[in-house]
């Protein structure tokens, strides 16, 4: 009995010794509790945890990529859209991540969903489509400020998709087409205005010099002569006729 007890005790000691060793990878940390109270953060490498007295919780320090489920958002201009996003975050303080919140991954997921609806609901649909980068920064800053107490750093937020109802898509297409037509008309009107201003300047210059007017008239006749038309009508301005008659009178 004594011999059996000795071997049993030795096996028990060996088992306890082996089970007290933990190996933590470079990106892992162990939050160790002693008799239920926080003791210290250990790792990476070989860690000794006393069985029955100490407990260790592993924490991954790598960047975690979280897909935020699609959220129904009502924009400020009363347009219903579905928006989903991706959140990139990592644990920077393992002690806070384990002690301050029960499940920091689930907590960040819920916080990201509510923040996404809250921030986007303050903007119009055009802002969601055209200023996505600014909205990403706004959401990231809000999440980062609220998760700081949990020992988590939110590095980046990216809005993936903004899904719009089919009827709204058609309305937006019509609006874009109308906007393009408006710009085309404005450009055409600006071109006409510039052309009329140039013509007015040319007319003033020609009016100040009768010789320039005659030269321009001859250039016009030369251009007409190059046409394939069989009949050419030459309108003669009164000023030109007067210039031809006056020298004869002298």
Summarised one tens digit per residue, pLDDT across range 82-132 is: 999 999 999 999 999 999 999 999 999 999 999 999 999 998 888 888 888
- Read off the pLDDT of residues 205-215 as tens digits, 9 standing for 90 and up: 666 766 666 66
CATH number reported for the structural domain that contains residue 108 in this entry: 3.30.479.30
Q: What is the largest CA-CA distance in the chain?
A: 158
Q: How far apart are alpha carbons 42 and 195 in whole angstroms?
A: 79
pTM for the complete prediction?
A: 0.65
225 & 175 share domain: yes
Whether 23 is covered by a domain: the verdict is yes
- Phi, psi (deg, nearest 5) at residue 170: -65, -40
CB-based contact 138:119 (threshold 8 Å): yes
Is position 9 within any domain? Answer: no
User: Structural domain tally of the chain?
Assistant: 3
CA-based angle 151:65:46, to the nearest 5? 60
Average pLDDT over residues 148-176: 81
Q: Are residues 106 and 183 in the same domain?
A: no
SS (H, E, C) 91-151: ECCHHHHHHCCCCHHHHHHHHHHHHHHHHHCCCCHHHHHHCHHHHHHHHHHHHHHHHHHHC
DSSP tally for the chain: helices H, then strands E? 8, 8
In this structure, are 56 and 71 located in the same domain? no
Mind giving me the DSSP string for 173-233? Answer: HHHHHHHHHHHHHHHHHHHHHHHHHHHHHHHHHHHT-HHHHHHHHHHHHHHHHTS--S---
Residue 5 lies in a domain: no
Domain stop point among 60, 90, 114: 60
CB atoms within 10 A of CB 86: 15
Same-domain status, 113 and 198: no
Residue 13 pLDDT exceeds 80: no
The verdict on 179 and 242 lying in the same domain is: yes
Residue 185 domain-assigned (yes or no): yes
Q: Are residues 88 and 156 in the same domain?
A: yes
145 and 209 belong to one structural domain: no
Residue 45 maps to a domain = yes
In a domain, 223, yes or no: yes
Under DSSP, the state recorded for 44 is S
| Domain match, 51 and 79 both | no
Q: Which of 148, 164, 180 is the last residue of a domain?
A: 164
Residue 175 domain boundaries: 171-249
pLDDT reading at 12 higher than 60: yes
Asked whether residue 184 falls in the same domain as residue 121, the answer is no
pLDDT at site 1: 43
**Distance (Å, rounded) from C-alpha 23 to C-alpha 44?**
7
Report the pLDDT value the prediction gives residue 3, as an integer from 0 to 100. Answer: 47
Is 209 found in the same domain as 197? yes
């Amino acid at each position: 009995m004594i011999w059996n007890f000795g071997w049993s005790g030795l096996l028990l000691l060996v088992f306890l010794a082996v089970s007290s060793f933990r190996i933590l990878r470079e990106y892992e940390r162990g939050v160790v509790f002693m008799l239920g109270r926080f003791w210290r953060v250990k790792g990476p490498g070989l860690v000794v945890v006393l069985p029955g007295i100490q407990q260790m919780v592993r924490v991954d320090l790598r960047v975690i990529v979280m897909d935020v489920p699609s959220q129904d958002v009502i924009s400020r201009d009363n347009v219903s859209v579905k928006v989903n996003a991706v959140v990139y975050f990592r644990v920077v303080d393992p002690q806070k991540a384990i002690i301050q919140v029960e499940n920091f991954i689930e907590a960040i997921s819920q916080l990201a969903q509510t923040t996404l609806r809250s921030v986007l609901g303050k903007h119009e649909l055009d802002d969601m489509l055209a200023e996505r980068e600014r909205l990403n920064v706004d959401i990231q800053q809000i999440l980062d400020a609220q998760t700081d107490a949990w020992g988590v750093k939110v590095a980046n937020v990216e809005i993936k998709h903004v899904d719009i109802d089919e009827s709204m898509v058609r309305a937006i297409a019509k609006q874009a087409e109308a906007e393009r037509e408006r710009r085309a008309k404005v450009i055409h009107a600006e071109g006409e205005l510039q052309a009329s201003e140039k013509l007015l300047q040319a007319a003033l210059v020609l009016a100040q010099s009768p010789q320039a007017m005659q030269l321009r008239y001859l250039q016009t006749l030369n251009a007409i002569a190059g046409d394939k038309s069989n009949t050419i009508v030459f309108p003669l301005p009164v000023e030109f006729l007067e210039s031809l008659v006056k020298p004869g009178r002298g």
